[in-house]
Structure 1
Amino acid sequence: MPRPEAMPGSTITLDFRLSLTDGTEAFDTGDEPLTCTLGDGTLLPGLELALYGLRPGEEQTLTLTPEQAWGERRQELIKEMPRSNFPADSELEAGQILAFRLPDGEETMGTVLAVEDDRVLVDFNHPLSGQEVVFQAKMLEVDNSALPDDD
């Protein structure tokens, strides 16, 4: 019986690593492989496309453009905020990544770019936006049992 291949709707388990083109590691599943269903939004569409057709044991490495990954950096996502929006006793410094609550109750992350006496500059772009990303994946399992039969 042939090994199943990954396709939209497959439940997959894989090890993967994301790095910048200079080799700087951005993410690695390490000892905890990721299990998800292709198309459920867990992975970016560009990452999912790289997995279609892979069978257990197969590996794929490719470089994604910013558009295929987290998009270009957007200047409008860099916001100047009053220092008074942050707790008075918080030790803010450039490079810190903080959680922010949005008006709809959702949470997002922002990177502090600069701190002055009365204002803080925060970048709400994804840290990998504007970057080419190297995606290395090893497919461990593919389960197509939940997919409709083709007959």
Structure 2
Amino acid sequence: MNSLINNAFQEISLVFDIGRDAGFRFPAPSYKLLTHLNACRFLQPRTAPPDRIATTIMTEAKQGDTVRLHYKGTLDDGSVFDSSEGRDPLEFTVGSGQIIVGLDRAIPGMKVGDEKTVKIAAEDAYGPHDPDAQQTVPRTQIPDSVPLEVGMQLQGQTADGQVMSVVVVSFSDEDVVLDANHPLAGKDLTFEIQITGIN
């Protein structure tokens, strides 16, 4: 191979020396030049070693990013309380307070395609159950058109016009006990999540 390369460069030198003496210019390599370069395999494509091939850097989620994820939420008994299956991914801004604190904290550092199981204590989810959030109201305050059932959710309005959701704990002909705690208050939660997009 070394002798082939040396011969190639001697031929190249000879071609250019003759051309220069004759006053020729070489806007492109001569046929002989290409022939020898081909013979020396200089025109064969070269593949970089695997450890030197550039890889795409995946963006990691950080505070202020808009993230999309699929999720499944379960309780300690394994029952599913919510899931994005069959729906669009949940979209939110990291650190904005749009989702519960425990889940929000788990997002930074994740990349598109990453999956994670996150266990969240009640304090970092919907908070502890507050007994003072229960209130007894006269049955007459509930419209007759509403067929009451234990566990059903109702929407009420506070004195300052704020809309809030309550759950029927119990009722009689005279009174209805309503609970303003979130249905998941006081419960530890587990989320299985997968990141589908980061902007």
Q: TM-score, normalised by structure 2?
A: 0.69
What CA deviation, in whole Å up to 9, does each residue of 1:8-39 have, x standing for no partner?
A: 10111110111101111111112211111112
CA contact (8 A) 2:103 2:118 kept: no
What CA deviation, in whole Å up to 9, does each residue of 1:91-127 have, x standing for no partner?
A: 1111111111122222111110101111000111101
Find the counterpart in structure 2 of residue 26 from structure 1: 81
The 2-side partners of 1:91 and 1:36 are apart by 36
CA contact (8 A) 1:59 1:138 kept: yes
Matched, 1:62 2:118: yes
Matched, 1:96 2:152: yes
Find the counterpart in structure 1 of residue 68 from structure 2: 13
CA contact (8 A) 1:51 1:60 kept: no
Unaligned runs of 5+ in 1: 144-151
Secondary structure, counterpart of 1:57 in structure 2: coil
Q: Which has the higher contact order (CA 8 A, sep 6+)?
A: 1
- The structure with the greater share of residues assigned to helix is 2
Matched, 1:2 2:57: yes
Offset at 1:6? 1.1
| Letter in structure 1 aligned against 2:112 | P
Matched, 1:115 2:171: yes
The 2-side partners of 1:74 and 1:91 are apart by 26
The 1-side partners of 2:60 and 2:159 are apart by 42
The 2-side partners of 1:142 and 1:90 are apart by 44
Find the counterpart in structure 2 of residue 44 from structure 1: 100
- The structure with the greater share of residues assigned to strand is 1
The 1-side partners of 2:92 and 2:167 are apart by 28
Q: TM-score, normalised by structure 1?
A: 0.90
| Letter in structure 1 aligned against 2:194 | K
Secondary structure, counterpart of 2:104 in structure 1: helix
